[in-house]
Amino acid sequence: MDCIMNRTKICIVGACGRLGTSIIQESIKNFEIVGAVEAANSPNIGKSLINLGIIESDIPITSSDDLSSAISKADVTISATVPDSELVNAPIYVENNKKIIIGTTGFSEKQYSKLISILDQKVPSLITSNFSIGMNFLYRLSELVGLLPEEFEISINEKHHSKKIDSPSGTALSLAKIISESKGYENLIFDRSKHGKREKSELEVTSERIGGTPGIHEVNIAGQYEILRLEHIVFSRLAFARGALSAAHWLHDVSEPRIYSMQDVISR
């Protein structure tokens, strides 16, 4: 009983989405689900997790209009929704002094800056474009590309399921930011057909949307006579779910109110 009582209590915002559902299903052994939230116009509002076939739990799907109630018992909230919703919800986490993990992608620069301004120095918060432990290790490796001779050029390719909304993926853009800072690239090229030969200042980022692909990211590093490919393949959304839960376990023990990343989690 003591083990059960000491489990981290979590609320999932975006509970019926692909990622939210995976997190809930993966959480049942070591976490306690105390809230599940969906957009106010969702047809699932009021239905229980067991009714929806997610897990055997009577926890109901709560409307985002009643977010404060849904997160009231949570130690940590995990959110995977859309940028506009995150900006509406962020002040509520602050008002209720709740730790928040955000895995939403597709923010514009203006939206992301606003999100940071709402959360930073207010509550312990973790924001990431990818929960996968393997991908966050690839982020770390990508910081080293600046050590390569100037002749080496780099490109990024990402593949996802055909229902993914944002393109390029938030993960690809995170990789591009890391690589650009390390290698000195100034311009991102998303469509080579609109450009001529490659310039030294350019980093090429390409996207594909195909079938049910959970996520494939490839960093190609090419010299004149050799090429190195760093590839990360997700073959189950459990990779994201387990990473998100690792982040929740880690953030539960954090007290300093600032913005964290998955790099903090894997460096523990």
For position 161, which CATH number holds? 3.30.360.10
Give the C-alpha distances (Å, rounded to integers) separating 208 from 165, 166, 214, 241.
12, 11, 12, 23
Do 107 and 172 belong to one domain?
Answer: no
Report the relative pairing of strands 76-79 and 61-63 from DSSP bridges.
Answer: unpaired
User: Are residues 141 and 211 part of one domain?
Assistant: yes
Is residue 164 part of the annotated active site? The answer reads yes
Q: CB under 8 Å to 6, separation ≥6 — which residues?
A: none
Query: Which tens digits make up the pLDDT trace of 127-177?
Result: 999 999 999 999 999 999 999 999 999 999 999 999 998 899 999 999 999
Q: At what angle do helices 18-27 and 238-252 cross, to 10 degrees?
A: 60
**Residue 1 predicted with pLDDT over 60:** no
pLDDT interval class at 5 (50, 70, 90): low
Tell me how many domains the chain contains: 2
* Domain co-membership, 210 together with 222: yes
Same domain, yes or no: 61 and 194 = no
What is the 8-class DSSP label of residue 48?
B
Residues 49 and 90 grouped into a single domain: yes
* Nearest 10 degrees: Cα torsion 63, 67, 69, 70: 70
- Average pLDDT for residues 254-261, to the nearest whole number? 97
| pLDDT value at residue 192 | 84
Same domain, 67 and 148: no
How far is the C-alpha of 31 from the C-alpha of 160, rounded, in Å?
Answer: 29
For 243, residues 6+ apart whose C-beta sits below 8 A from its C-beta are 130, 131, 132, 133, 136, 262, 265
| Amino acid symbol at 25 | Q
Question: Are residue 9 and residue 48 in the same domain, yes or no?
Answer: yes
Three-state DSSP class for 124?
coil
Task: Give me 19's structure tokens.
Answer: 């990622």
200 as an active site residue: the answer is: no
Calpha distance 158→248 (Å, rounded): 27
Q: Do 155 and 192 belong to one domain? A: yes
The residue range of the domain holding 229 is 133-234
Task: Give the active site residue among 98, 99, 122, 164.
Answer: 164
Does residue 32 share a domain with residue 86? Answer: yes
Q: Which residue has the higher pLDDT, 125 or 236?
A: 125
pLDDT at 183 (0 to 100): 97
Could you give the 3-state DSSP secondary structure of residue 145?
helix
Catalytic residue of the set 98, 122, 159, 160: 160
Q: Are residues 143 and 22 in the same domain?
A: no
56 burial level (CB within 10 Å; 0-12, 13-18, 19+): exposed
Token pair for 132: 């996968």
Predicted TM-score of the model (pTM):
0.87
Q: Which residues pair with 259 in a beta bridge?
A: 125
Do 59 and 75 lie in one domain? The reply is yes
Residue 170 and residue 54 share a domain: no
Please report the pLDDT score of residue 3 as a whole number: 43
Give the CATH number, domain containing residue 80: 3.40.50.720
